[in-house]
Amino acid sequence: MKHIPYYIMTAALAIFVGCGNNSNHSHSYEAEEHEVHEHSHDGHDHDHDHDHDHNHDAEHAHDHDHGHSHDAHAEESHNHAPGIIEFTKVQADAAGLEIETVQPASFNAVIRTSGEILPAQGDEKTVVATTSGIVTLGSGSRILPGVKVSKGATIAVISSEEMAAGDPIAKAKAEFDAAEKAFERAESLVKVNAISQKSYDQAKKDYETAKSSYEAYKGKFGEKGLSVVSPMAGYITQVIVNDGDYVEAGQPIAVVSQNNRLQLRADLPEKYWSSANRIYSANFKPSYASETFSLKNLGGRLISAGRTAVKGTFYIPVIFEFNNAGNFVPGAFCDIYLIEGQKDNVISVPETALTEEQGVYFVYLKVCETEYKKQEVKIGESDGIRREILVGLHEGDIVVTKGAMQVKLASVKGSIPGHTHNH
């Protein structure tokens, strides 16, 4: 039998063992032809200049058109194109791999700046001293910015033992006792018209005032002094005094916020003045977080875009309000991406899809069920969540959006550049 040329057999084999005949695979037939010719069978030397008319049936029991079944090696042979990374389904599941098909779409036009998370107006209350004395913060718990407190929780204890005015609870008790006796006497006298109705009304008023004052102290005054409690559940956003400070009655001690609604203040540089009226939303990344959040997903709305710069700065304040659905901490500084419009027909990927090596950016493309390819890209603008891709991706490409680092590690450990089988 005339032998079929090796390069024809090799090309046919490449078609059948390829991953779904995916167009992203560029098999090197020259390499595979060389691979075939590396097969050396002991005991005979094939002179490929003659016609192979001699019959090897006695020695080999197969027709030597190199038809010894390559199908037998199909499971062993990978025949990966150069740069292909093998990443099994088991590995993908373990890495939580996620993918996305590239589709041109609208993309946010952004101005990147910084700012701060603030409590929303009406969402916070100031805790004040109810008497004069020496303050001790907390009662067995730390009072610091960011600490969560329940309604009625002790914010501070104020002691007046060493004060000239004396013990406020003792003073309030004495005033209450005196007012109570005076009111009881007035009650008996008014019945026999021994005092005027006006005198009786005044005695009653004095009694009620003294009672309210005393009851305000009662239950809040312990061995160490008078407890000042939180008027609502929330988070401490500011501590105004220190342990051991002397405070006057009515002096602010701390600020408590419910944290249900918050504000995001962005500092817009003056050079973007003309863009201020086009800003309608924002994405932001707090200094303590690894994730970028969208105001759109937090019920956010624009409150104001300042018409004047903040005094002493070169920034224009842009204020948003949003729901505190992520336990954000007031006072935290943020990277902010102000959204001022949209660009159409833009190819973009999530920021999590990108890897960087010495200033060069890459994504990983899925080319078939268990094979991936590293792809260099040129990046454009970012809105903090997605990144514009200028060069390197096309519609229909399948990009790894989560787990790209695991694929990268797999490429370092086991990239298979079209390895050969030497028998």
* pLDDT per residue as tens digits for the range 125-142: 899 998 888 888 876 667
**Residues in the chain where the model's pLDDT stays below 50:** 1-2, 4, 6-17, 21-78, 164, 415-423
In this structure, the dihedral spanned by the alpha carbons of residues 307, 310, 313 and 315, taken in order and rounded to 10 degrees, is: -40
**CATH architecture entry for 110-120+259-342:** Beta Barrel (2.40)
Cα distances (angstroms) measured from residue 204 to each of 185, 197, 209: 10, 11, 9
Q: In the chain, what are the domain boundaries? A: 6-79, 95-104+347-414, 110-120+259-342, 124-257
What angle (nearest 5°) sits at the alpha carbon of residue 381, between those of residues 375 and 384?
95
Is the model's pTM score more than 0.85?
no
Cα 161 to the chain's mean position, in Å? 50
Question: pLDDT tens digit string along 355-373?
Answer: 999 999 999 999 998 999 9
Paired with 126 in beta bridges are: 255
Q: Return the half-sphere exposure (C-beta side, CA atoms, 13 A cut-off) of residue 10.
A: 18
Kindly report the CATH number that applies to the domain delimited by 95-104+347-414.
Answer: 2.40.420.20
- Residue at 146: amino acid letter: G
What is the predicted pLDDT for the residue at 99? 94
Kindly report the CATH number that applies to the domain delimited by 124-257.
Answer: 2.40.50.100
**By the 8 A CB rule, do 279 and 134 touch?**
no
Which candidate, 372, 382, 322, 391, places its Cα nearest to that of 123? 322
**Distance in angstroms (rounded) separating the CA atoms of residues 237 and 257:** 6
